[in-house]
Chain A
Amino acid sequence: MSDAWIVVAAVGVATVLFKAAGPVFLGRRALPPRIQPAVELLAPVMLAALVTTQTFGEGDEIAVDARVPGVAAAALALAVWRRVPVVGAMAIAALVTGLLRLL
């Protein structure tokens, strides 16, 4: 079994359990209010880390290459035009980075 299939199985099982946590396992009880704020911060924290590795990560090293201006252009678009769709931001980054690599 390849790595991809193991990830598909593990993430799939975990997600099914997360989504069923309330309706199947908890019933009417709630998550402990104490940990609630931390759970809510998990998504922005993980996304920020992913942006970082995807922009600067090169294996075990930090690299500044054509990706950086591409991602910066997408960030600028998101900041200036707030309703830019996700796919639009992706296209801008791919276009700028792709063109710089052609030079």
Chain B
Amino acid sequence: MRPDAPETTILIVGFSQAFAGTVAGVSADARREPRFRDGVRAALPLVPGPLFFGISFGVLAEASGFGAAAAVVMSATTFAGSAQFAAVSVLDSGGTLAAATAAAIFLNARYAAMSVTVASIVPGWWPRRLASSQLIVDESWALSGRSGRFEWPVLAGAGLLLYVFWVASTALGTVIGGLLRNPDALGLDAAFAALFLALAVPYVRSRRALQAAALAVAITLVLTPLTPTGVPIVAAASACLIGLKR
């Protein structure tokens, strides 16, 4: 979902710590065990994010002809804002099914990395772990790691609160979107672009990320006149390979 929360720093720190294998063990005995309700409480200040963001998704999905039911089901099953917006926007601009799907899947690949960081703390046998792991979103994951180690009850509490608001506000947005006549006249296509721009900001703090993003822009601009709609976005994903360079 929206990665511009103040916790973004934690997200980045969390990644580097988790993968360096040095997640600081905050003296567990010095503090009580975290509970589900701690996660709910921690996520309360973030609620306006998914609320307005979910309404926007519903509005844009409905206005672009994606369909209200598909938008709500997508919010309930995918629960990852940027990928959902990406899929709708590629379809809306005439891209193919494959391009829309690939763009969204590339955006969500980061969840594989996040889920690995919490792999050992998700309780229960596998069907329960499968279901509860769906509560991993940028914000819940970032909140759960802010004490220096990942805490599952916090992630579950925060994730569930954000999930409820996300799905409900998507539904509300589709109702509002159905009332709009000509969305492009209102500049909603530019709003899509501004949305992706705002989402990208917290990610491009490092020089490497900035270079990769610039390369992606260049690939997209060059390929747009040369290839079918949707292909440039998928091809731009290859810009992430500069991360393999030492």
Taking Cβ atoms with an 8 Å cutoff, the residues of A that contact B are: 2-8, 10-12, 14-16, 18-24, 26-31, 33-57, 59-62, 66-67, 70-71, 74-75, 78, 84-87, 89-99, 101
- Residues of chain A contacted by B187 (CB below 8 angstroms): 66-67, 70, 93-99, 101
**Contact of B188 with A by CB under 8 A:** yes
Q: Is the CB of A93 within 8 A of B193?
A: yes
Partner of A39, one of B49, B84, B113, B215: B113
A36–B70 Cα distance when bound, in Å, is 33
- Residues of chain A contacted by B109 (CB below 8 angstroms): 18, 39, 42
A55–B224 Cα distance when bound, in Å, is 12
Q: Is the CB of B219 within 8 A of A49?
A: yes
Q: Chain A residue with minimal CB distance to B239? A: A45
**Contact of B160 with A by CB under 8 A:** no
- Residues of chain B contacted by A36 (CB below 8 angstroms): 19, 113
Dominant SS among interface residues on chain B:
helix
A42 → chain B, closest Cβ, in Å?
5
- Residues of chain A contacted by B204 (CB below 8 angstroms): 44, 48
Q: Is the CB of B203 within 8 A of A44?
A: yes
- Residues of chain A contacted by B19 (CB below 8 angstroms): 30-31, 33, 36
Partner of A48, one of B132, B186, B236: B236
Q: Is the CB of A20 within 8 A of B130?
A: yes
A85 → chain B, closest Cβ, in Å?
7
Subset of 25 A-B contacts with CB under 8 Å: A3-B91, A12-B77, A12-B78, A14-B101, A18-B108, A18-B115, A20-B129, A21-B116, A22-B115, A22-B122, A38-B240, A39-B110, A39-B243, A41-B209, A41-B212, A42-B107, A43-B82, A44-B209, A50-B233, A54-B93, A57-B224, A74-B190, A78-B197, A86-B198, A93-B190
